[in-house]
Chains A and B, each alone.
Chain A
Amino acid sequence: MADSINKLRVSITKRYGGKTVLDRFPLEIRGGEFVTFLGPSGCGKSTALGIIAGLVPPTEGEIWLDDQRIDDLPPEKRGFGMVFQNYALFPHLTVFDNVAFGLSLQHRPAEEIKERVTTMLGLVRLAGYEDRFPGQLSGGQQQRVAIARALVLHPRLMLFDEPLSNLDAKLRVEMRAEIKQLHSRLKLTSIYVTHDQAEALSLSDRIVVLREGVLMQVGTPQEIHDRPANVFVADFMGFRNFFDVKLGQANGGQIDVSAKSGTYRTRAAEGLTIGQDAVLAIRPDDVKIGGGDGSNKLRGKVELVEYLGREIEAAVMTEGQGRVWLRTPEKIALGDAIDLTLPADKLVLLRKE
């Protein structure tokens, strides 16, 4: 449905005064891809999106859309659609007129406008709301109008700037699924900015993790989730246990590392050599309760229990390794003495920074 693009190539730097917000940020997006910029606030992800949109001028760099250089085109000439965090609907126009805004600027005939707006409102499940004003809609409905308003123009590229941040948790999950559906149904090419890792994982073909304007890692959701490239990405993706270790002998894809409390066995990682300092990380979900076959074991006492519904998250003060977080559906209580196992295939070895 949308005019397709083959490739968007970006290489941009943005400085505000002396502060570098984006440092030679490189990116290549293929047509039909769903790419997410992920990072904490202030990491430059929204600036990067603004530059691609044309709303923020880059300090240096180029943006190429297929064979066309577009970084000197004003936003209104780029043919991209954008959805904003605060919806940015025109409060003085009805839902219909909001969605028809871009089409009427193109001087389309009235019947075509009516047909396309009606179809699009049906697609975002807002048929019958044509005559309402934005102020009379809920947040989720307003954001659906904003999405329809952008999509009705068949944009070459869809840009989403934290579109779900203003919605409550339940609605966020629903809207996430709707965006995903629209993306594949309309064969869109989308760039999505968020600070929410669950959103990034569930929506994306590829995730770009940013920190203070510097690219930390690019990869599929599985890659980012299972094999974070460094401590920052691991921390952001929900690893909560980090141990300082020294690398020992590698043998057959496995490596022994020594920590304060003893020796652990884990998967070998590239680019790390014997004797080097490194960081061993594991998610709370992957920490097992019980002794197992004897290796990678820890003993400790439960000192904090948080009830999460289906499971609990607990902090265990271990002998020699400090506090270890775990998640388990099992019942454990404050003050229990328990054995923990850190499964070798779940441990991730990261470069020390």
Chain B
Amino acid sequence: MARARTDERSELDLVAILCLAPSLLYVICMFVYPFLYGVYASLQPVKGPAWSLKNYISFFTDAYQYKTIVTTFELALPNSIAVVLLGLFFAYNMRRGIWAERTITTILVLPISLGVVFLSEGILGFYGTNGWLNQMLLGAGLIHEPLELTHNFIGVILSLFMQNFPFCFLMLLGYISGIDPSLESSARMLGAGPWTIFRRVMLPLIAPGLVIAFALVFVMSFAVFPSAVMVGQPAGSTRSISIAAYQQAFEQYDMSYASAIAVIMGLCQLLALIVIVLVRKRMTIATTMGVGKR
């Protein structure tokens, strides 16, 4: 009997492995191998001995390089916070459906279908020094000097926001409209007004989704590259870590150093994710216990 059981078991395992194989192959080819190759390449500096930490040491001893980490955080963090808060605001107020919902959702989501480059061109055309916005404000006499909204920090934030907002909004809308509406009704019957319901009933239930949305937006905006170049100031205030890697790879032709920077970037993202997951764990022990069965 026991024998038969193990046979059945191993047969099942075989089927499971075969079913997994295509996706496993994909992950190995497209992620594991390039990643390991990058780590390997980063440890083989162009000059000097094979197998050394020279690239990492030069990155962390050169202020021009290691400051890109700070710069990238300065872009990614405010952007993620703004995206999540505004996404929450819109999604929460649209949770029970509103007038012309489809049209409004389409407008909010449209930027997802545009490429980053196209979006950045649009930002230059609209927010640029000679763009429509400045022309209008100057023409109306509201300002006397054009506003500087592009080729700086603000430009990159605008671009990142437009890329990430639709994604975050859709995710939160799905999450929030999945919460049982009778919870709100029962809170009202117990004497809670709209703000109390948000703060004491809905927010604790939305929080796990909010944290996940924040994590994804943060990781996406941490990898900022095209918009940092096109609408930012790639030599100065928006020199993100991906620009540093790009310059090493395609301006200095030092693939090894570029790989090291890419690995550092990945580690920064990983670190941020770990912190976020830890926060989420603390926050939601109670929530998940309750949500399981209702």
Contacts and interface: CB of A to CB of B under 8 A. Distances in A.
A85 to B, nearest CB: 8
A153 B205 contact: no
B183 A75 contact: no
A55 B193 CA distance: 13
Given A133-B289, A135-B293, A88 B191 contact: no
Interface residues of B, number: 25
Contacts of A55: 185, 188-189
Given A86-B180, A134-B294, A102 B287 contact: no
Interface string B189-232: 11111001000110011000000000000000000000000000
A80 B185 CA distance: 12
Q: Is the interface of B mostly helix, strand, loop or mixed?
A: helix
Given A105-B196, A133-B286, A91 B182 contact: no
Interface in B154-204: 180, 182-183, 185-193, 196, 200-201, 204
Interface in B65-112: none
B243 to A, nearest CB: 43
Given A92-B204, A105-B196, A135-B294, A82 B191 contact: no
Interface in A69-119: 74-76, 80-82, 84, 86-94, 101-102, 105-106
A297 B189 CA distance: 56
Contact of B192 (A87, A88, A105, A150): A105
A135 B285 CA distance: 13
Contact of B189 (A82, A86, A135): A82
A94 B294 CA distance: 14
Most buried by A among B201, B289, B290: B290
Contacts of B63: none
B224 to A, nearest CB: 35
A134 B201 CA distance: 14
Contacts of A84: 182, 185-186
A202 interface: no
Interface residues of A, number: 32
B291 interface: yes
A80 B189 contact: yes
A133 B291 CA distance: 9
A209 interface: no
Given A86-B182, A135-B289, A91 B294 contact: yes
A96 B47 CA distance: 68
Interface in A118-135: 133-135
Interface in A36-85: 53-55, 74-76, 80-82, 84
A88 B186 contact: yes
A135 B205 CA distance: 14
Most buried by A among B180, B189, B287: B189
Given A88-B180, A89-B294, A135-B291, A105 B190 contact: yes
A92 B191 contact: no
B190 A150 contact: yes
Most buried by A among B180, B186, B193, B196: B186
Contact of A101 (B182, B190, B289): B190
B187 A101 contact: yes
Contact of A106 (B180, B185, B186, B191): B191
A136 interface: yes
A135 B196 CA distance: 23
B292 interface: yes
Contacts of B286: 92-94, 133
Contacts of A53: 185, 189
Contacts of A90: 183, 186-187, 201, 290
A149 interface: yes
A31 B286 CA distance: 40
Interface of B: 180, 182-183, 185-193, 196, 200-201, 204-205, 286-287, 289-294
Nearest 3 interchain pairs by C-beta: A91-B290, A102-B190, A88-B186
Interface of A: 53-55, 74-76, 80-82, 84, 86-94, 101-102, 105-106, 133-136, 146, 149-150, 153, 159
15 contacts: A53-B185, A53-B189, A54-B188, A75-B188, A76-B191, A82-B186, A91-B291, A92-B291, A93-B290, A101-B190, A102-B191, A134-B293, A134-B294, A136-B293, A146-B186
Given A76-B189, A92-B287, A133-B289, 6 more contacts: A75-B188, A92-B204, A102-B190, A135-B289, A150-B190, A159-B189
